[in-house]
């Protein structure tokens, strides 16, 4: 059975209710219909460098995931972004506890490249999901991205990429509105995960 871990973030800054919290909770309820033999694990992390450091390592050590998808909110309306890479330094923005990482760096930076790139094809996955979602919500965009920022989103993603860059992805989601609803974003996230699983299975067969 495949193990898929999906995480969201708690409140911070202007987001008293973080959309990633709602999406990950909803995904945990509705599951991944249409995908066989998947153990879906959903969890939330505080916007806290120390907690994220501990929890991300624990997800990998405890669950040995076939795929881990971190989900966070960004300010680009009506747009989902699949992040292709992340950085290990430049974390100068304080978390909800008022702290930053030591020397503003992610753990184990010295053992890995400063920029870590996922081997998941975000361009192809984004294109396929965008086409399917267009039939249900024409205003939703799904795009690849190469700039996850330098806050907890990128920090969590970098740690996961250092564990296994073929099994890690970060998805940035927008705030909800009348068209871009919780249900629409959840469905898009389901499709993203399904497409990655299908792609991995095809590569295994080949």
Given the residues 74, 122, 153, 195, select the one marked as catalytic.
153
The residue-averaged pLDDT of 164-192 equals 97
**Phi, psi of 189, rounded to the nearest 5 degrees:** -65, -40
pTM higher than 0.85: yes
The whole-number pLDDT of residue 1 equals 84
The whole-number pLDDT of residue 4 equals 97
18 CB-near residues (< 8 Å, 6+ apart): 8, 9, 10, 11, 12, 73
Given the residues 83, 122, 162, 187, select the one marked as catalytic.
83
pLDDT surpasses 70 at 114: yes
Tell me the pLDDT tens digit for each residue of 83-104: 999 999 999 999 999 999 999 9
172 is catalytic: yes
pLDDT surpasses 50 at 206: no
What is the share, in percent, of the chain residues with pLDDT greater than 70? 98
- What is the tally of helices (H) and strands (E) in the chain? 5, 8
The residue-averaged pLDDT of 10-17 equals 92
Q: Which residue has the higher pLDDT, 97 or 202?
A: 97
Instruction: Mention the CATH class of domain 2-205.
Output: alpha beta
The residue-averaged pLDDT of 165-193 equals 97
83 is catalytic: yes
137 is catalytic: no
Indicate the domain borders of the chain: 2-205
Residue 165 Cα distances to 4, 32, 88, 108, 187, angstroms: 15, 23, 14, 15, 24
């Amino acid at each position: 059975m495949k193990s898929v871990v999906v995480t969201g973030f708690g409140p911070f800054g202007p987001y008293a209710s973080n959309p990633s919290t709602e999406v990950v909770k909803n995904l945990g309820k509705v599951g991944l219909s249409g995908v066989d033999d998947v153990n879906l694990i959903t969890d939330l992390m505080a916007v806290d460098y120390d907690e994220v450091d501990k929890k991300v390592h624990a997800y990998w050590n405890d669950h040995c995931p076939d795929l881990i998808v971190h989900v966070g909110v960004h300010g680009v309306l009506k747009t989902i972004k699949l992040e292709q890479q992340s950085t290990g330094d430049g974390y100068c923005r304080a978390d909800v506890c008022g702290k930053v990482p030591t020397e503003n760096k992610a753990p184990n930076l010295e053992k890995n490249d400063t920029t870590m790139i996922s081997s998941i094809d975000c361009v192809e996955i984004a294109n396929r999901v965008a086409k399917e979602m267009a039939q249900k919500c024409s205003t939703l965009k799904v795009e690849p991205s190469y700039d996850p920022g330098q806050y907890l989103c990128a920090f969590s993603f970098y740690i996961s990429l250092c564990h296994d860059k073929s099994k890690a992805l970060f998805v940035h989601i927008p705030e909800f509105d009348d068209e871009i609803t919780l249900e629409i974003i959840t469905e898009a996230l389901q499709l993203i995960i399904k497409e990655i699983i299908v792609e991995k299975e095809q590569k295994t067969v080949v």
